[in-house]
Amino acid sequence: MSSDFEGYEQDFAVLTAEITSKIARVPRLPPDEKKQMVANVEKQLEEAKELLEQMDLEVREIPPQSRGMYSNRMRSYKQEMGKLETDFKRSRIAYSDEVRNELLGDDGNSSENQRAHLLDNTERLERSSRRLEAGYQIAVET
């Protein structure tokens, strides 16, 4: 069972490395390639989420005495996934602002600042929600 988990871990590591690389390349690409890259990253993020779900299922099947180590690793992977999603959102916002600016000839700095502020607030809310869910799970288990 842990070999399945380790296989998923390897797949997740490879996938997240690819996603990180692609997110970093998005701002430097020509507009037509950016659109393709954004779609590709969205698809890979979904694949990574599915891998996390599979890993989570594997952890649930592990005996309770050895589950702690895997649970800690899962928390780390979920945080990494959250960071990737945030980075991707920021890269998409920069991309959509660039497209809008091309169309309207607008500098849009205030809009970009507002979006960044909203993203930060959303990220804070998501972290708080995860903490609440983790606390609830601990309460249910005890």
pLDDT tens across the length of the chain (142 residues): 567 888 999 999 999 999 999 998 887 888 788 889 989 999 999 999 999 999 999 999 888 888 888 888 999 999 999 999 999 988 877 656 566 566 566 555 667 778 888 888 888 888 888 888 888 888 888 7
Give residue 78's pLDDT: 94
Q: Which of 115, 85, 86, 88 is CA-nearest to residue 100? A: 115
Q: Read off the pLDDT of residues 15-24 as tens digits, 9 standing for 90 and up.
A: 999 999 999 8
Q: Read off the pLDDT of residues 64-83 as tens digits, 9 standing for 90 and up.
A: 888 888 888 999 999 999 99
Give residue 34's pLDDT: 85
Total structural domains within the chain: 1
The domain of 21 spans 2-141
Give residue 97's pLDDT: 58
Judge contact between 89 and 119, C-beta under 8 A. Answer: yes
The DSSP result for 46-110, as a single string, is HHHHHHHHHHHHHHHHS-HHHHHHHHHHHHHHHHHHHHHHHHHHHHHHHHHHHHHHHHH----HH
Q: Which of 52, 31, 36, 45 is CA-nearest to residue 86? A: 45
Give residue 116's pLDDT: 84
Residues in the chain: 142
Query: Which CATH number do you get for residue 17?
Result: 1.20.58.400
